Amino acid sequence: MKRRNFVLGAMGLGAAALWWKKPGDHGAPYAPYFRALNAELKRNGPMEPAMVVDLDRLDANLDRVARTLRAAGKHYRIVEKSLPSPKLLEYVAGRAGTTRLMSFHQPFLSHDAEFFPGFDVLMGKPLPVRAAAQFYAGLKGAFDPARQLQWLFDTPQRLREYAELARGLGTRMRASLEIDVGLHRGGARDGRELKAMLDVIAAHPQQLEFAGFMGYDAHVGMGVPSVLGSARELLDKAMARYRGFVDVARRDYASLWRDDLTLNSGGSPSYALHAHETVSNDISVGTALLKPTHYDIETLKEHVPAAFIATPVLKKAGPIDLPALDAKSRIFSWWDPNQRETFFIYGGWWLADYESPKGLQFNELFGHSANQEIVTASPGVGLDVDDHVFFRPQISEAVLLQFGDLVVVRGGRIVDRWPVFSA
């Protein structure tokens, strides 16, 4: 207690809770992987914040996904929002042998139609009818939405709106229906709500064609406390619900049913579990290929991180020295060895976690900066000006768009730069 009073007296602050944290890792030099990557970036990198994608690690994850789904007899559909780069998507599609995409954003859908004119695209969320109208108005090239695009619908009203748009355009739209398999984020919740949507399709045969179902199961593998069921148990329940919807459509709408309908499900947390069910035939996976920190989960334990934010150290400033506290700041470095070196990095405030070197930490009293983020560590971390600090993104879809061209590496060497989608 005496130490606590001394610290607060020296600081003149009321943030007592900050002083009872246990001192963390005192820092360590780079692990061999990041030491080599740092050297390569210093030689050939952009020397500004960059998103680095490691193709060797990506290949390992991708091959695992493709092998699992191929053995289960299911089609692999690439989630485009998680890999929002034409060349990255092209690479994944070529290696996995698939021409199926899932899109979530009208501008990205327009990119898909331009860059992948031979692909089949399923929308991963329902869009306002105005967004669909904008897509058709800007459509150019060989992509044929009447054959290659499945719009997603969650309500009868949205189906009617699209039917009216199709009538005005003189076209026919493929309609995939969102079904609630346990996530409770929208779509048909039961057979009655499903029939209400199928009735609209049946009433507009010139404008709408039933294309299948999308039953997303993000709650399987993450987001649900294990006490409520294992991932396998949750998937079994989800697919039992899915089968119920299939049975309703096949039995009561035989004229709409076809054996080649898309029965989409899955997601990065659950894709491997779908190898054991026989309802779905189309599984969506994207983020698992890069494995950001939000996906450090049991069902992806065999996957490896394949994307890192790398940014140079601009300044090395010794022990932490906070504004207005001046010399009193030394108490921080006395209490916590991880504040005995201060670095200012290029950029910051990303949705990401420190990865390498170990022992780096964000200073809550100094605060965030998107221009020059402050990072503290112990002297043992071994960082110097122009060295890189590495982060792992927490998610992939939005964060990959923040750094311009992806820096693509293989064998520890930069081999290419891949542009990302523009919104």
**What's the 3-state SS for the chain?**
CHHHHHHHHHHCCCCHHHHHCCCCCCCCCCCHHHHHHHHHHHHHCCCCCEEEEEHHHHHHHHHHHHHHHHHCCCEEEEEHHHCCCHHHHHHHHHHHCCCEEEECCHHHHHHHHHHCCCCEEEECCCCCHHHHHHHHHHCCCCCCHHHHEEEEECCHHHHHHHHHHHHHHCCCEEEEEEECCCCCCCCECCHHHHHHHHHHHHHCCCCEEEEEEEEECCCCCCCCCHHHCCHHHHHHHHHHHHHHHHHHHHHHCCCCCCCCCEEEEECCCCHHHHHHCCCCCEEEECHHHCCCHHHCCHHHCCCCCCEEEEEEEEEECCCCCCCCCHHHHHHHHHHCHHHCEEEEECECCCCEEEEECCCCEECCCCCCCCCECEEEECHHHCCCCCCEEEEEECCCCCHHHCCCCEEEEECCEEEEEECCCCC
Question: What pLDDT shows up at residue 423?
Answer: 66
Q: What is the mean pLDDT of residues 49-56?
A: 98
Instruction: Tell me what the pLDDT averaged over the chain comes to.
Output: 89
pLDDT at residue 26 tops 80: no
Domains and CATH numbers, the chain: 2-30+305-395 (no CATH), 54-290 (3.20.20.10)
Q: Is the pTM of this model over 0.85?
A: yes
Q: What percent of the chain has pLDDT over 90?
A: 78
Q: Specify the pLDDT at position 230.
A: 87
User: Above 70 in pLDDT, residue 124?
Assistant: yes
Lowest mean pLDDT among 61-75, 136-150, 170-184, 369-383: 369-383
Per residue in 251-292, pLDDT (tens digit) is: 999 999 999 999 999 999 999 999 999 999 999 999 999 999
Say what the pLDDT of residue 2 is.
Answer: 36
Tell me the average pLDDT across 118-122.
98
